Amino acid sequence: MTVPTTPAATPPATENALSISGLDVTLGGLPVVRGLDLHARPGEFVSILGPSGSGKSTTFGVLTGDVHPDAGDVRIEGDGLGRGSRVAYMPQRDALLPWRTVLNNVTLGLEVRGVRRRAARQKVQPLLEPFGLSGFENRYPAQLSGGMRQRAALLRTVAQEQPVLLLDEPFGALDALTRSQMQRWLEQMWEQYRWTVLLITHDVREALYLSDRVYVFSPRPARVAAEVVVDFPRPRTPELFSDPRFAALEAELLKQLIG
């Protein structure tokens, strides 16, 4: 299907790891996305906050190639044709296969992309330790804690070495304590690897803690209602939560979200 091209409203695509311009999506006769523009620069951590049902997962679906837009231009690292194959996607549920060991789960994304299992294992091996999975390679998902499952799912995603990581509510199903531990861990990992990340979250604190920029989506049909630059120094620690500037930004974003 040919997607009509509209002029970029964001900085030129060559400066971005990912850009979406003028995106329109209709599903079942329902306008779900209208005139959406967003971008992420290489190594930037960008979050999308939005009300439930506003069209966030649909937008990810366009990036993964699962949803066909009516109009718009989607570019990943300047490659207009690369939609779907140039992003690594971690869905809301970890989607680990229960009958495969941790190691065989984390190599799965590479295997699906045509990498032989032995080569895939060699690639993920050095990442098991930093992802806190060393010693658990031969366990099955049901034998892992919720946090470990999410780390395994994230490792499967990053091991694909795609220019952009799409994370759809990766910690949404975790208890509050594990969730905050995972947020801290992800911030530290991002500091180390500087992936380009597009994260969907409902959690304003999570978005502010992790991101360089936050897009707030309007209620459906999705468009950008606000864009907030988050310039707190890194590395970030939970002390940031008591910074009055953090509290002010949190209040501003909540106001944008719930009106």
Binding-site member from 17, 22, 55, 186 for ligand ATP (CB under 6 A): 55
**Only segment of 14-22, 23-31, 83-91, 234-242 that touches ligand ATP (CB under 6 A):** 23-31
Is residue 236 within the footprint of ligand ATP (CB under 6 A)?
Answer: no
| Per rule CB under 6 A, count of chain residues that contact ligand ATP | 13
Under rule CB under 6 A, residue 30 binds ligand ATP: yes
Among the listed residues 4, 15, 27, 116, the single contact to ligand ATP using CB under 6 A: 27
Residue choice 28, 233, 244, 259 for contact with ligand ATP (CB under 6 A): 28
CB of 176 to ligand ATP, least distance (A): 19
Q: Identify the CA nearest to 209 among candidates 192, 226, 187.
A: 187
Cβ nearer to ligand ATP, comparing 29 with 244? 29
Provide the strand spans (E) within the chain. Answer: 18-27, 30-40, 45-49, 71-76, 87-90, 164-168, 197-201, 213-217, 224-229
Under a CB-based contact definition with an 8 Å cutoff, are residues 164 and 76 in contact? yes
Instruction: Out of 179, 220, 223, 236, point to the residue binding ligand ATP (CB under 6 A).
Output: 220
Burial label, 118 (beta-carbon count in 10 A; 0-12, 13-18, 19+) = exposed
The Cα diameter of the chain in Å comes to: 52
Relative orientation angle of helices 117-128 and 146-158, to the nearest 10 degrees: 120
Separation between Cα atoms, residue 118 and residue 184, nearest integer Å: 32
Give the shortest CB-73-to-ligand ATP separation in angstroms.
19
Applying CB under 6 A, does 170 fall inside the site for ligand ATP? Answer: no
Q: Please report how close the Cβ of residue 187 comes to ligand ATP at its closest, in angstroms.
A: 22
Structure tokens at 10: 């964001």
What is the 3-state composition of the chain as percent helix, strand, coil, each rounded to the nearest 5?
35, 25, 40
Span interacting with ligand ATP, options 22-30, 100-108, 123-131, 142-150, rule CB under 6 A = 22-30
Contact positions vs ligand ATP (CB under 6 A): 27-28, 30, 32, 50, 52-58, 220
